[in-house]
Amino acid sequence: MPDEATRKAAHEAARGLRPLWADLHVHTVLSPCAEVEMIPPFIVQRARELGLGLIAITDHNTGENVEAVQRAAQGSGLAVLPGMEVQTREEVHVLCLFDTLDPLLDWQERVYGSLPPLKNREDVFGAQFVVDETGEFICMNERLLLASTSLSIEDVVSGVGELGGLTIAAHVNRPAYSLLINLGMVPPGLALSALELSHHMTPEEAIASFPQIAGWPLVLSGDAHRLSEMRANTLITVREPSIAELAMAFRQEGGRRVKLLL
């Protein structure tokens, strides 16, 4: 007689639901602070080694390397969601995730228009490489990407939502660039889909330190700036790795759900 877990898994498979390990916060060499090893084929290889079924590429205020990682992942079974880590004018980092490249590129245009008209200083902040799917150099992104946009957090959450994407407040338990530290709370009424925890403390410790996050859907990501920082700690059960399904998982609808496992 099959046990409860086996029966449940069989039942879910019949409904098309499957569990996916996800890391929704991965940088590439386009982020000035990321290591040069963060090129598409290595990211895909590391994701497969970790058993990840889903990653999101989230460089600082840009999405120009997303397509290269998607191409590198073709045929590997790894789903790559287009994303970006935007810095709001409150200096809060917000992950912006989309189903496809088109809305990401629309969003990127708005973000670029909201950045200060300054050039990156490679010697100070680091280089910003745009690469192809093999990791081959295409060009430098010359904008100062490690800067605040003029967009408020409300602008970001609503703007991404209007383009069909979803937003996750990044590393809310970190001492810098985080919603809880910079604003002191999750602003009431803000339509974030979830909060991301950084892994320097356990989710239990994070909730003890920041009681205001209790009840929010949580993800735990690597915020990887090097390959060894990618993580498989967030198990998402969905039909497919899409924005609509992720949103259902965060709301725990129709059997979709998110679980953190350390």
Partner 1 sequence: MTVQEIANALALEVAAGAAQLGRDVTGGYASDLLSCVMAGAQAGNAWVTLQAHLNVVAVAALLDLACVIITEGAHPDSDSIARANEEGVPILLTEESTFTVVGKLHQLGVRGSE
**Among the candidate windows 3-11, 18-26, 87-95, 242-250, which touches partner 1 by CB under 8 A?**
87-95
User: Could you give the string, one character per residue 2-41, with x where binding to partner 1 holds by CB under 8 A and - elsewhere?
Assistant: -------------------------------x--------
What is 180-220 written as a DSSP string? HHHTSS--TT---SEEEEPTTS-HHHHHHH-GGGTTS-EEE
Please state the closest distance from residue 11 (CB atom) to partner 1, in A: 47
Among 16, 77, 175, 254, binds partner 1 (CB under 8 A): 175
Measured from the CB atom, the residue of 75 and 117 that comes closer to partner 1 is 117
Judged by CB under 8 A, the number of residues near partner 1 is 14
Helix, strand or coil, per DSSP, at residue 9: helix
Please state the closest distance from residue 174 (CB atom) to partner 1, in A: 9
Helix, strand or coil, per DSSP, at residue 118: coil
**Among the candidate windows 75-83, 142-150, 194-202, 215-223, which touches partner 1 by CB under 8 A?**
142-150
Among 18, 48, 71, 89, binds partner 1 (CB under 8 A): 89
Please state the closest distance from residue 112 (CB atom) to partner 1, in A: 16
**Separation between Cα atoms, residue 51 and residue 46, nearest integer Å:** 9
34-64 exposure pattern, b = at least 16 Cβ within 10 A, e = fewer: bbeebbbbbbbebbeebebbbbbbbbbbbbb
Helix, strand or coil, per DSSP, at residue 173: coil
- Could you tell me how far CA 246 lies from the centroid of its own chain? 12
Q: Which of 164, 178, 163 is nearest to 246 (CA)?
A: 164
Can residue 158 be called a binding residue for partner 1 (CB under 8 A)? no
Q: What residue ranges bind partner 1 (CB under 8 A)?
A: 33, 89-91, 116, 118, 121, 124-125, 146-148, 175-176
